[in-house]
């Protein structure tokens, strides 16, 4: 096998006989290691003369080693006595000329320091170049000359798609521009924004704000068209700048807006002006926002401000989800058949969470499912009815969208219970498989319509059970409906699990010949028989542990600590569905606060955390009498044995290495509880 053999010329000064011998020894050594090294001592007297010979060697060489010494530096810069050191002087001139021609980009000339030398003797023109001090750095120099990196780059792996996150900066690099109707309103909006900045400054320093508030009031009038808000208008004393309308319904309009306080995009939902004096409409509008704000779940749109009023304008503020809604995505062909089930399962998880909190949505439909990448978020709870609320529904109104509304609700809106949401979710799945807006035929003869859908027969059967006209014969909960969908996948279930692994909230039933855990068990587990305890064993390093199953219907309390929002949400969502009671923390200090306050049964601890890392957080937990008994399972991407050993030293009972699937975490938890 041939190797690259560079041409190397060594430029030096004849300081002394000993110095010449050391340079010759270096040249001989390089040649013995396969490098075509050249030095003047190999020549008797070149016929072209030393100046031309030196110039040719420098120009032909791949590399020139410059042996730096006090004498060489002096001769290189031409400050030696006349007639002395002309070789070094000529070479110095050639080096300088080549660097000039190369635009000062040096890839050829390498300063070297022999034992006893000093880096301070490197010629000025080469001061920025990498130099090598011999003998210690001989092999580093050899790597440089032969192009052998000390570390070989691994092959490029597979691309890893990551969840998009809301971008927050001190200022938007590209501030969203409202869709102004004309230049007059654009100028008024710009002046109004400046006025709000002045107002904030006046308030901060305690100055009189009367004049600037009067100016703001006048500018705001210019940005109103009667009761109609216009792009560029501001709400909440300048906090929210309206950009554009992104949705409009029978009762309200949704604006894309810039939250100047939080420096992020938000969605502002404004009640139509004609309903501002209708007390019942206002109450229902804000009741929906209030209930939505109580539902803290990654699959439900987050409410930032639940009740805001400004004169006759009534509104609330939500997170902005920029991927459009499911209806738009399906009609535009962006939802493939294999994505339908994962999307419906994720919506089902959010809906089941709402039902567990005593809230029925009552208006589940494709337009009320927003998309953040592949992750759906349920919105528009403004037609919501809480189970514990009396009187809050006007029964003469057929709330919701007709074709997605359960038959019993069309007869009596008070009958809009969890079964009605099952019907609506199932009809949403029918629409997604159909790929087009549903015709009236889908509502009149749903079973016949489902027969023609392009999906597995078992999936079609699950859909029929979800859209049965008789509510008593319909699947009784969102969980059972989603379980039926998943079981209907049969042998392809594992493929779907791969597609939706980051959001799947239950695992396929194991083929044990017995019954599987019911998805309707919510947050409880079957009590284990005391005569036949369930045992789970797991291996941690060299230690083995055997723990009997908890003989209680009380859910296992888990604290999930991870600074990556998407990962934390995925693990929490899965564990909640599997019957665990989950708390979360995004850094080490928050983990300590929640552990001391709630005393969880087990902690999943990421090790690389902000403010306080996972190692130190675990150490403090183990030093505290109230928390030292809690098993801490490290969940980390650190692959080095030293990192794992350190985790065990501070008290972690087990290490789960990322990337991992949620089921790995469940298995680890059950080994220690």
Catalytic residues: 363
The residues near 214 (Cβ < 8 Å, ≥ 6 apart) are none
The distance of Cα 248 from the centroid of its chain, to the nearest Å, equals: 30
CB 663 within 8 A of CB 505: no
CB 7 within 8 A of CB 60: yes
For residue 470, which of 542, 534, 524, 422 has the smallest C-alpha distance? 422
Tell me how far apart the alpha carbons of residues 27 and 443 are, in angstroms, rounded to a whole number.
Answer: 90
Helix, strand and coil in the chain, % to nearest 5: 40, 15, 40
For residue 126, which of 145, 152, 108 has the smallest C-alpha distance? 108
Tell me how far apart the alpha carbons of residues 600 and 552 are, in angstroms, rounded to a whole number.
Answer: 15
CB 372 within 8 A of CB 164: yes
Tell me how far apart the alpha carbons of residues 332 and 436 are, in angstroms, rounded to a whole number.
Answer: 9
Tell me how far apart the alpha carbons of residues 130 and 137 are, in angstroms, rounded to a whole number.
Answer: 12
Position of tokens 């989950």?
582
For residue 330, which of 304, 301, 303, 369 has the smallest C-alpha distance? 369
Supply 356's token pair.
């567990």
What is the Cβ-side half-sphere exposure of residue 611, based on CA atoms within 13 angstroms? Answer: 13
CB 656 within 8 A of CB 631: no
Tell me how far apart the alpha carbons of residues 322 and 371 are, in angstroms, rounded to a whole number.
Answer: 7
Task: For residue 152, give Cα distances in angstroms to 6, 107, 140, 149, 358.
Answer: 21, 21, 15, 6, 58
Q: Which long-range contacts (CB under 8 A, 24 or more apart) does 483-487 make?
A: 483/518, 483/519, 485/341, 485/344, 485/345, 485/429, 485/459, 486/341, 486/345, 487/458, 487/462
Q: How many other C-beta atoms are found inside a 10 Å radius of the C-beta of residue 587?
A: 19
Supply 204's token pair.
């901060």
3-state secondary structure of 119: helix
Tell me how far apart the alpha carbons of residues 484 and 475 are, in angstroms, rounded to a whole number.
Answer: 9
The residues near 76 (Cβ < 8 Å, ≥ 6 apart) are 88, 89, 91, 92, 95, 123
**Which region, left, alpha or beta, applies to residue 49 given φ > 0 means left and ψ of -120 to 50 means alpha?**
left
CB 126 within 8 A of CB 95: yes
Partner residues linked to 36 by β-bridges: 7
Q: CA torsion angle for 608, 613, 616, 621 (degrees, to 10)? A: -100
CB 232 within 8 A of CB 178: yes
For residue 392, which of 292, 307, 280, 294 has the smallest C-alpha distance? 280
């Amino acid at each position: 096998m041939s190797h690259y053999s560079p041409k190397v010329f060594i430029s030096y000064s004849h300081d002394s006989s000993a110095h010449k011998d050391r340079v010759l020894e270096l040249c001989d050594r390089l040649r013995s290691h396969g490098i075509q090294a050249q030095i003047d001592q190999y020549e008797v007297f070149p016929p072209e003369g030393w100046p031309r010979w030196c110039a040719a060697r420098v120009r032909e060489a791949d590399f020139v080693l410059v042996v730096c010494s006090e004498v060489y530096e002096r001769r290189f810069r031409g400050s030696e006595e006349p007639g002395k050191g002309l070789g070094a002087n000529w070479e110095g001139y050639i080096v300088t000329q080549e660097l000039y021609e190369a635009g000062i980009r040096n890839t050829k000339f390498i300063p070297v320091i022999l034992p006893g030398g000093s880096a301070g003797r490197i010629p000025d023109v080469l001061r920025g170049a990498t130099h090598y001090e011999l003998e210690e750095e001989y092999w580093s120099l050899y790597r440089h000359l032969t192009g052998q990196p000390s570390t070989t780059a691994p092959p490029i792996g597979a691309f890893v798609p990551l969840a998009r996150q809301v971008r927050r900066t001190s200022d938007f690099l590209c501030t969203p521009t409202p869709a102004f109707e004309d230049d007059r309103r654009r100028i008024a909006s710009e002046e109004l924004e400046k006025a709000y900045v002045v107002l904030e400054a006046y308030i901060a320093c305690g100055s009189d704000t009367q004049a600037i508030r009067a100016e703001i009031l006048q500018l705001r009038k210019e940005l109103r068209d009667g009761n109609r808000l216009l792009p560029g208008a501001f709400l909440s004393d300048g906090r929210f700048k309206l950009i554009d309308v992104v949705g409009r319904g029978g009762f309200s309009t949704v604006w894309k807006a810039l939250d100047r306080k939080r420096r992020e995009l938000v969605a502002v939902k404004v009640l139509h002006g004609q309903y501002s004096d209708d007390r019942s409409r206002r109450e229902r509008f804000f009741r929906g926002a209030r209930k939505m704000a109580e539902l803290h779940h990654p699959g439900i749109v987050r409410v930032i401000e639940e009740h805001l009023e400004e004169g006759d304008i009534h509104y609330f503020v939500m997170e902005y989800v920029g991927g459009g809604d499911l209806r738009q995505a399906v009609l535009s062909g962006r939802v493939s058949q294999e994505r339908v089930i994962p999307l419906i399962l994720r919506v089902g998880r959010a809906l089941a969470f709402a039902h567990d909190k005593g809230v029925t949505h009552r208006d589940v439909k494709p337009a009320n499912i927003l998309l953040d990448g592949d992750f759906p978020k349920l919105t528009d709870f403004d037609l919501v009815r809480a189970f514990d609320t009396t009187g809050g529904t006007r029964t003469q109104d057929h709330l919701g969208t007709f074709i997605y509304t359960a038959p019993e609700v069309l007869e009596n809106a008070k009958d809009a219970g969890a079964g009605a949401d099952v019907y609506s979710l199932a009809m949403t799945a029918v629409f997604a498989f159909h790929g087009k807006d549903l015709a009236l035929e889908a509502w009149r003869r749903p079973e016949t319509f489902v027969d023609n859908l392009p999906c597995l027969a078992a999936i079609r059967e699950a859909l029929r059970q979800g859209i049965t006209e008789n509510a008593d014969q319909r699947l009784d909960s969102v969980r059972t409906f989603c379980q039926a969908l998943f079981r209907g996948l049969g042998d392809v279930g594992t493929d779907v699990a791969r597609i939706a692994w980051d959001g799947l909230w239950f695992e396929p039933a194991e083929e044990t010949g017995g019954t599987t855990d019911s998805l309707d068990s919510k947050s409880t587990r079957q009590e284990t028989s005391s005569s036949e305890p369930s045992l789970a064993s797991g291996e941690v390093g060299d230690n083995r542990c055997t723990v009997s199953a908890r003989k209680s219907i009380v859910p296992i309390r888990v604290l999930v600590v991870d600074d990556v929002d998407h990962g934390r949400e995925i693990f929490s969502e899965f564990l909640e569905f599997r019957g665990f009671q989950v708390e979360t923390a995004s850094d080490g200090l928050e983990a300590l606060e929640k552990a001391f306050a709630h005393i969880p049964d087990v902690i999943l601890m990421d090790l690389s955390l902000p403010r306080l890392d996972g190692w130190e957080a675990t150490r403090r937990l183990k030093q505290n009498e109230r928390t030292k008994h809690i098993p801490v399972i490290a969940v980390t991407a650190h692959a080095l044995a030293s990192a794992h050993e350190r985790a065990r030293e501070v008290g972690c009972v087990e290490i789960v290495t990322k990337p991992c699937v949620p089921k790995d975490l469940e298995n680890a938890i059950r080994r220690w509880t």
